[in-house]
Amino acid sequence: MRAYNFCAGPAALPTAVLEKAQQELLDWQGKGLSIMEMSHRSKDYVAVAEKAEADLRELMNIPENYQVLFLQGGASLQFSAIPMNLLGKNSKADYIHTGIWSEKALKEAQRYGDINVIEAGTSIDGKLAIKNQSEWNLSQDAAYVHYAENETIGGIQFADIPDVNVPLVSDLSSSILSAPLDVSKFGLIYAGAQKNIGPAGLTIVIVRDDLLDQSRSDIPSILKYSAQAKNGSMVNTPATYAWYLSGLVFEWLLEQGGVDAIHQVNLEKAKLLYGYIDSSDFYNNPIAVPNRSIMNVPFTLADEALEKLFLQEAEENHLLNLAGHRSVGGMRASIYNAVPLEGVQALVNFMDTFVQKHG
Ligand code: PMP
């Protein structure tokens, strides 16, 4: 039996996708070998890679003047690759700080240039929120503005896309493909795959053509967006299996009706879980309503001493990985695209039974 998996990443994958991969594992489409054993430069593999890109372009409605790169090193390597590629001669960038991941990004960027940190966290009636853009002190001469659209650990998400007049760079690791997004508003989007895309080991970068050729000359070619774009993300051997499996996830998403359709389900899941938490005196979510993440829902129990028991009983009920990030504690339910509405319903039922028993 497959449990409901609320892990923040590597996260749940659609069962139908895993079944397809299982079916094709030993003998991919009658070729007598696994896709893992195939040259990344073979005609068959290149077709799989190109289909995955085409499907992602369709899902996100990515304009022609953007490159889609399938890279390695995680979102964390992009924390360095972005300033290396985009700072160019202008050595200044603005970084919006809203939590642990945007902080990690800005700390890496500080090695490469003059980083203006905008402290955008605030509190509304005791709940954490993101300050209005009118309160940000953006610089006049930044090469780009960087923000983390959804803070996976804090469970805090931007209500709107910032409106800036320099290239906008966004870490979408935990929110890509969860809701419609106007890609044309961005200079660059990046995301580690292991939440809403596929298995770990793959990182997607979507970058506008005019930003490709601004890199410092002394950076490794593997990190140069222009070199990766010219070589179809195959400057070296890519993460072939993760790329293939992500392609299966894109096909699955298209079958579900695309991003608009999955967004409706995501809204329903979030409404159900936050609605239950808000109706209870026992559970609490620390985020102000407009900035609540629809993907990562942190919550605490009224009695911290019950946390261990909560996790143990959840597991007995086939509800896995509900512990909060090790740096913050508490609980967190990550309800990515592959977690069905029934999974969230099962979680809410369990939470309610737990309060009745122990609250
Ligand atoms: N950014 C965000 C928003 C994340 O959630 C994570 C991983 N949880 C990262 C960056 C780092 O990703 P990776 O482990 O792929 O380097």
Residue ranges covered by each domain of the chain: 31-255, 258-358
CATH of domain 258-358: 3.90.1150.10
| Averaged pLDDT, 237-242 | 98
Is 152 touching ligand 1 by the criterion CB < 6 Å? yes
**Across residues 55-82, what is the average pLDDT?**
98
Amino acid at 259: V
Task: State the CATH class of domain 31-255.
Answer: alpha beta
Cα separation, 113 vs 79, in Å, equals 13
- Residue partners of 241: CB distance under 8 A and separation at least 6: 35, 36, 199, 201
Residue 110 CB less than 6 A away from ligand 1 = no
Q: For residue 326, what pLDDT band results from cuts at 50, 70 and 90? A: confident
Residue type, 66: Y
Q: What is the C-alpha to C-alpha distance for residues 112 and 80, in angstroms, rounded to an integer?
A: 8
Rg over CA atoms, the chain: 21
Percent of the chain with pLDDT over 70: 99
CA distance from start to end of the chain: 30
In the predicted model, is pLDDT for residue 208 greater than 90?
yes
Tell me what pLDDT residue 88 has. Answer: 75
Preceding amide of 14 cis, omega within 30 = no
Q: Output 48 or 326, whichever has higher pLDDT.
A: 48
- Give residue-wise pLDDT tens across range 174-204: 999 999 999 999 999 999 999 999 999 999 9
Distance of CA 329 to the CA centre of its chain: 21
User: What average pLDDT does the chain have?
Assistant: 97
The pLDDT value given to residue 216 = 84
Task: State which of 76, 147, 178, 321 you would mutate to test the pocket of ligand 1, scoring each by most atoms of that ligand within 8 A of its C-beta.
Answer: 76
Looking at residue 90, what is its pLDDT?
61
Report the pLDDT averaged over residues 329-358. Answer: 97
Q: Which of 195, 243, 252, 269 is catalytic?
A: 195
In this structure, the number of other CB atoms found within 10 A of the CB of residue 336 comes to 27
pLDDT-derived band at 329 (thresholds 50, 70, 90) equals confident
Cα(114)–Cα(97) distance, rounded to whole angstroms?
A: 15
Q: Is 291 in the pocket of ligand 1 (CB under 6 A)?
A: no
pLDDT tens digit string along 89-144? Answer: 668 999 999 999 999 999 999 999 999 999 999 999 999 999 999 999 999 899 99
User: CA angle 295-296-299, nearest 5°?
Assistant: 140
* 160 Cβ contact partners less than 8 Å away, ≥ 6 residues apart: 133
Percent of the chain with pLDDT over 90: 95
**Contact of 178 with 266, CB cutoff 8 Å:** yes
CA–CA gap between residue 164 and residue 93 (Å, rounded): 12
* Mean pLDDT, residues 11-29: 98
Place of tokens 């997004």: 181
Q: Which two tokens stand for residue 150?
A: 């959804």
**Mean pLDDT across the stretch 21-43?**
98
**What atom of ligand 1 comes closest to residue 148's alpha carbon?**
3
pLDDT higher than threshold 70 for residue 60: yes
Helix 74-86 vs helix 100-109: crossing angle, to nearest 10: 40
CB 249 within 8 A of CB 17: yes
State which amino acid sits at residue 87.
L
Helices 240-255 and 258-279, packing angle to 10 deg: 80
Active site residue 252: no
Does any ligand 1 atom lie closer than 6 A to the CB of residue 246?
A: no
Q: What is the 3-state secondary structure (H, E, C) of the chain?
A: CCCEECCCCCCCCCHHHHHHHHHHCCCHHHCCCCHHHCCCCCHHHHHHHHHHHHHHHHHHCCCCCEEEEEECCHHHHHHHHHHHHHCCCCCEEEEEECCHHHHHHHHHHCCCCEEEEEECEEEECCEEEECCHHHCCCCCCCCCEEEECEECCCCEECCCCCCCCCCEEEECCCCCCCCCCCHHHCCEEEEECCCCCCCCCCEEEEEEHHHCCCCCCCCCHHHCHHHHHHCCCCCCCCCHHHHHHHHHHHHHHHHCCHHHHHHHHHHHHHHHHHHHHHHCCCEECCECHHHECCCEEEEEECCHHHHHHHHHHHHHCCEECCECCCCCCCEEEECCCCCCHHHHHHHHHHHHHHHHHHC
Measured between alpha carbons, how far is 224 from 226 in angstroms, rounded to an integer?
Answer: 5
For the CA of 73, the closest atom of ligand 1 is 16
Cβ of 99 less than 6 Å from ligand 1: no
Distance CA 125, CA 320 (A): 32
